[in-house]
Amino acid sequence: MSIDPALIAAAASALAAARRVLVLTGAGVSAESGIPTFRGAGGLWEGFRAEDLATPEAFREDPARVWRWYRWRRGICLAAAPNPGHLAIVEIERRVPAFLLATQNVDGLHPRAGSRKILELHGNIHRARCTLCGRKRDLPPEPEAPHAPLPACAACDGLLRPDIVWFGEAYAEGVLETAFEEAGRADVVVSAGTSGSVYPPAAIALAGKRAGAFLIDVNPAATEISAAADIHLAGPSGEVLPAVLAAS
């Protein structure tokens, strides 16, 4: 990682002075835990893109295929552990008076790392929901075989689906409102590990910047969010975030 130390120092002093901080995370934050991101190398599964599988239409057409994808991914998530980037975000929460983490990740690594004030915008891969009655159920803490029978609801025998927000689906009530509200009054917004290509989440970071927050983007690649950011720290979050904390 070769980031100008002056940029690290500037991010550190913005964070140290902040009273309200919103952190937005995406798949890149879990990349160093061995969980593949959606876009870019390794983003394919059996030749399908996330946009082909993470839709209600794909599930209606072939629920077994979608469950195979999620079981494969859940196995990876269960075997993974939080990395220094997740832990640095826990430390930011500890240091600032008002904090919110809005994550697009469904892998459960932020809560496992110890994050407390967290909105899981896209749901959680370790939970399922009945397609008939809507009841939710935690999945067992061990991986299921990809071809195991499809899970059914204990109450009504309806087919269960992953409790995840797919393309074209609405977000859980109040979740986006809370995230945008916090972005609107944050002193600092940190965006980490997201391509900023999925909306509305990408707009949370941009709305924070528009409302006057100091926007810090942590991503080895350039994105729409890094273009809008006050500081773009172009490195892996597992190295960059601890370096920022060490400098504050």
First to last CA, the chain: 19
Binding status of residue 54 toward ligand BJW by CB under 6 A: yes
User: Of 91-99, 108-116, 153-161, 198-206, which segment contacts ligand BJW by CB under 6 A?
Assistant: 198-206
Q: How far is the CB of 149 from ligand BJW (least distance, A)?
A: 21
- Cα torsion 152, 157, 163, 169 to 10°: value is 130
Residue 132 or residue 246: which is nearer to Zn ion going by CB? 132
191 binds ligand BJW (CB under 6 A): no
Q: Which residue is nearest to ligand BJW (CB)?
A: 28
For ligand BJW, the binding residue among 153, 204, 219, 245 (CB under 6 A) is 219
122 labelled catalytic: yes
Catalytic residue among 122, 126, 147, 232: 122
Exactly one of 23, 31, 102, 183 binds ligand BJW (CB under 6 A); that residue is 31
Three-state SS for 57-95 is: HHHHHCHHHHHHHHHHHHHHHHHCCCCHHHHHHHHHHHH
Alpha carbons 67 and 148: distance in angstroms, whole number: 9
Of 193 and 208, nearer to ligand BJW (C-beta) is 193
Segment near ligand BJW (CB under 6 A), from 4-12, 90-98, 143-151, 216-224?
216-224
Which residues, other chains included, contact 87 with Cβ-Cβ below 8 Å and sequence gap of 6+?
113, 114, 242
> Rounded to an integer, what distance in angstroms lies between the CA atom of residue 65 and that of residue 52?
11
Residues 105-134 that bind ligand BJW (CB under 6 A): 106, 122
Residue from 33, 37, 124, 191 that binds ligand BJW (CB under 6 A)?
37
Please tell me the number of Cα atoms within 13 Å of 25 on its side-chain side. Answer: 33
List binders of ligand BJW among 90-109 (CB under 6 A).
104, 106
Task: State the Cα–Cα distance between residues 36 and 194, nearest whole angstrom.
Answer: 13
- Residue 191's nearest CA partner among 31, 45, 28, 5 is 28
21 or 191: CB nearest ligand BJW: 191
Under the rule (CB under 5 A), what is the footprint of Zn ion?
Answer: 130, 132-133, 135, 153, 155-156, 158
CA 223 to CA 215: how far, in whole Å? 13
d(CA 22, CA 181): 10
Residue ranges binding ligand BJW (CB under 6 A):
26-29, 31-32, 37-39, 50, 54, 104, 106, 122, 164-170, 192-195, 197-200, 218-221, 223, 236-238
Residues with active-site annotation: 122
